[in-house]
Amino acid sequence: MTTTPEPTADVIAERISRFLEERTKTSFAVDTDVFASGGVNSLFAMELVVFLEEAFDVEIAGSDLRLDNMRTVTAMTALVQRLRAEDAAGAGDAGDGAGRG
């Protein structure tokens, strides 16, 4: 069985930063609150959710659908890492061998 190495926090943060910059034409520090800074609005949060789900093969649902998880690149990176770790732990239990991405 071949496994793809998990992206590092730096790789995840870079992809998120690049997405934000491409969509908003603004560069944000990883700890800048992108909503409080006026760089994006709450409607953009759903774009962020879709991007994170597709780019990192995670599902953001339930209690994870909070604006606080989307405020900074650091928060989004932590969310992605946690969800990927939970998914990997659950995949070990499922054992179907199917990769998602």
Whether 6 and 59 have beta carbons less than 8 Å apart is answered as: no
Q: What pLDDT, in 10s, does the model give residues 15-73?
A: 999 999 999 999 999 999 999 999 898 889 999 999 999 999 999 999 999 999 999 99
pLDDT of residue 9: 96
Query: With 60 as the cut, is the pLDDT of residue 2 above it?
Result: no
Whether 85 and 62 have beta carbons less than 8 Å apart is answered as: no
pLDDT of residue 43: 87
- Reported residue count of the chain is 101
d(CA 74, CA 16): 9
d(CA 27, CA 5): 28
